[in-house]
Amino acid sequence: MKKLLIANWKMKPKTLKEAIVLAKLSDDKDIYLAPPYIFLQSIKNVLKKATIGAQDLFQENPPKGGAFTGAVSAAMLKSIGIGFVILGHSERRALGETDVIISKKIAIACESKITPVLCVGESEGIRKKGIEEAMRFVAEQIKNDVSSIPKTVKKMIVAYEPIWAIGTGNNDTPESASQMARHIKKILSDQYSIKAKVLYGGSVNSKNISEFAKESDIDGFLVGGASADPKEFKTIIKIIKSI
């Protein structure tokens, strides 16, 4: 089965010139790139095969614009052809983004026909209490984050990203990530009639991706640090394409 590969560049690279180089190297079929806002249009212009997305959008989408200094709306993203958006990333939650805000963003993305990639995942403290506790936490996050999703939405993408695994080199095991993926799919299917693709994220690299890819319930990957490293990401693409 084909696995989805999403690159979350976060606040990298530093310059437009480097961003264009990275985008060209990552430009492949079935690859989804999420560069910082500032580079979106320039990168879109050079991509031939990859799909481009944003790392966030603002929780209001007023029909006539609004007074929100520094914000970027779903309508703006849609107007330049953005296809997906990462929402609820733990790094944004750590900056104060609540489930209420995330649920608004999810609804706006869906209404604007931009595919949301909802990120969920537990802290180290929760995981230490056991996988059942982590599953309860993730179920609660999902319930809150999709609370305003339009009833017409029948498909979505969720990235399971345990916080303790992000950027630490301390990835989850493929077995636990797969167990969580099944759990997430079941919640969305049983309670919302939504068929979800579930990605794993958290210290994915060219050395560990093949093991995760063997798990049939893991539909792909959200790659952070390794996706902004041109050589490493090229290797990851090669591995994914060979599966």
Residue 161 within binding range of ligand PGA, rule CB under 6 A: yes
Residue 33 within binding range of ligand PGA, rule CB under 6 A: no
For ligand PGA, the binding residue among 166, 188, 194, 198 (CB under 6 A) is: 166
Active site residues: 89, 161
In sequence order, which residues have a C-beta less than 8 Å from that of residue 48 and are 6 or more positions away? 27
Among the residue ranges 62-70, 107-115, 131-139, 221-229, the one whose residues contact ligand PGA (CB under 6 A): 221-229
Minimum CB distance to ligand PGA, residue 126 (Å): 18
What residues are paired with 116 via a beta bridge? 85
Residue 170 or 191 with smaller CB distance to ligand PGA: 170
DSSP for 149-200, please give it: --TT--EEEEEE--GGGTTTS-PPPHHHHHHHHHHHHHHHHHHH--EEEEEE
Among the residue ranges 55-63, 121-129, 141-149, 196-204, the one whose residues contact ligand PGA (CB under 6 A): 196-204
Token pair for residue 108? 């706006």
Q: What are phi and psi of 54, to 5 degrees?
A: -110, 165
Residue 224 within binding range of ligand PGA, rule CB under 6 A: yes
Q: CB burial class (10 A; 0-12, 13-18, 19+) of residue 17? A: exposed
Q: Taking CB under 6 A as the criterion, which residues in 44-73 touch ligand PGA?
A: none
Instruction: List C-alpha distances in Å: 70 to 4, 42, 134.
Output: 31, 19, 35
Residue 202 within binding range of ligand PGA, rule CB under 6 A: yes
CA-based angle 35:77:226, to the nearest 5?
Answer: 15
Minimum CB distance to ligand PGA, residue 6 (Å): 8
Residue 178 within binding range of ligand PGA, rule CB under 6 A: no
Residue 157 or 222 with smaller CB distance to ligand PGA: 222
Among the residue ranges 49-57, 66-74, 217-225, 229-237, the one whose residues contact ligand PGA (CB under 6 A): 217-225
* Site residues for ligand PGA per CB under 6 A: 8, 161, 166-167, 201-204, 222-226
